[in-house]
Amino acid sequence: MRLIVFNGKFGHLQENINQGLVALCHFEPEDDEKIIFKVAEKLIKLTNDNLILVPFAHLFEKVAEKPLAKNFFESLIAKCKELDNNKNIISIPFGVEKEFFLYAPADDEAIKFMNF
């Protein structure tokens, strides 16, 4: 699994702009529930209040099949909620075309790539 993570703003529709920790999530065929749990733990630790999960199959050449990736994404959402139900978990719909807007501050540490 691969992620791009940044504190900023994300919206998949013009009227739905959210601010918080944005995680663009890419799932690979060899991912499993153990990896999903590690990712959820890491994201919850990094999140102050809003966690915005975005399925994004464009971070690596190996991509999990859509049904498997969708299951992983749903599992990630559930595990994040399980680990801390006080945080607001926002998930962008899986499998729909996205027109989205990104904002991240101009800081060398603002955007991080993570590989699990």
Domains of the chain: 2-115 (3.50.80.10)
pLDDT in tens, 99-113: 666 676 666 666 676
pTM: 0.83
pLDDT surpasses 70 at 73:
yes
**Residue 52 near residue 73, CB atoms below 8 Å:** no
Q: Is the dihedral of CA 13, 19, 20, 21 positive or negative?
A: positive
3: tokens are 């992620």
- Summarised one tens digit per residue, pLDDT across range 78-90 is 999 999 988 999 9
One-letter amino acid for residue 56 of the chain: F
For residue range 23-46, list pLDDT tens digits in order: 989 999 999 999 999 999 999 999
Neighbours of 10 (CB within 10 A): 25
What pLDDT score does 33 carry?
93
Spatial distance between the Cα atoms of 53 and 22, rounded to a whole number of angstroms: 6
